């Protein structure tokens, strides 16, 4: 029987790579990538393609979202705001929050999904042990799925699947290992494109995950603080 088609929103980071490895077990995949003039745009795109090649997935759509840098409001896209050193206390919405980014990405994925007849969109959002982004919460994705099915053709019925949303970073690392996901090809740093900085929110969360899992992170870091 022909497998159903799913789109994965693949940034090229750890979470979306492991999400791809999970989705790949059950679906024929199509890969979506967003360029939004984030600081590490080129490096993320490289990881996107390398992970796509690893899984032999041909269907890929790379979309530019120029408005995030035009509107600013995030340290990832606005060069006037500095990428801060990590604060893992999880009390506030951090500066790296890109306003409503996931809704923009998912909307484009639904548009594409409606044309290619996809049954699901996978997105590697993480809620627990994560960075306090409002558009990474389970209730947001539930509401999005409902909205999407009201705003598309009657025959379109696309699920939003967030397989790692309640995972800790440690669990994501372990799941990636279990499924032989190409973690060495991923990129998570918000700041640098050659050597990961090791100190931004994203590096800190990732490194803590690997450290708690007792596994060596296979990518290169400028500095590797101990986060546990």
In the complex, the residues that contact its own copies under the rule CB under 8 A are 61, 63-64, 66-68, 70-73, 93, 97-104, 107-108, 110-112, 114-116, 134-135, 137, 139-140, 143-144, 146-148, 150-154
Residue 104 DSSP one-character state: H
Residue 72 burial by Cβ neighbours in a 10 Å radius (0-12, 13-18, 19+): middle
Q: Which residues pair with 35 in a beta bridge?
A: 64
- Comparing CB distances to its own copies, the nearer of 56 and 154 is 154
Residue 30 DSSP one-character state: E
Question: What minimum distance in Å lies between the beta carbon of 211 and its own copies?
Answer: 31
Alpha-carbon span 228 to 217, nearest angstrom: 14
Residue 86 DSSP one-character state: P
Question: What minimum distance in Å lies between the beta carbon of 114 and its own copies?
Answer: 4
Question: What minimum distance in Å lies between the beta carbon of 206 and its own copies?
Answer: 23
- Comparing CB distances to its own copies, the nearer of 87 and 114 is 114
- Comparing CB distances to its own copies, the nearer of 71 and 220 is 71
Q: What's the chain's length in residues? A: 228
What is the dihedral sign for C-alpha 126, 127, 132, 136?
positive
- Comparing CB distances to its own copies, the nearer of 30 and 164 is 30
Question: What minimum distance in Å lies between the beta carbon of 12 and its own copies?
Answer: 18
């Amino acid at each position: 029987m022909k497998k159903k088609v799913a789109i994965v929103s693949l940034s090229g980071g750890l979470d979306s790579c492991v999400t791809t490895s999970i989705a790949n077990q059950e679906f024929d995949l199509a890969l979506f990538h967003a360029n939004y003039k984030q600081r590490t745009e080129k490096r993320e795109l490289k990881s996107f393609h390398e992970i796509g090649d690893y899984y032999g997935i041909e269907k890929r759509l790379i979309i530019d979202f120029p408005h995030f840098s035009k509107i600013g409001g995030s340290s990832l896209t606005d060069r006037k705001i500095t990428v801060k050193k990590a604060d893992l206390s999880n009390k506030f919405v951090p500066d790296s929050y890109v306003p409503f980014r996931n809704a923009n990405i998912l909307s484009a994925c639904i548009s594409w999904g409606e044309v290619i007849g996809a049954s699901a969109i996978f997105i590697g959002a993480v809620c627990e042990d994560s960075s306090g982004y409002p558009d990474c919460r389970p209730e947001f994705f539930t509401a999005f799925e409902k909205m999407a099915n009201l705003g598309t053709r009657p025959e379109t019925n696309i699920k939003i699947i967030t397989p790692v949303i309640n995972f800790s970073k440690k669990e994501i690392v372990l799941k990636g290992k279990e499924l032989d996901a190409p973690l060495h090809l991923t990129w998570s740093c918000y700041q640098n494109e050659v050597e990961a900085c090791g100190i931004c929110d994203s590096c800190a969360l990732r490194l803590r995950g690997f450290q708690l899992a007792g596994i060596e992170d296979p990518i290169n870091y400028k500095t590797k603080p101990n986060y546990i």
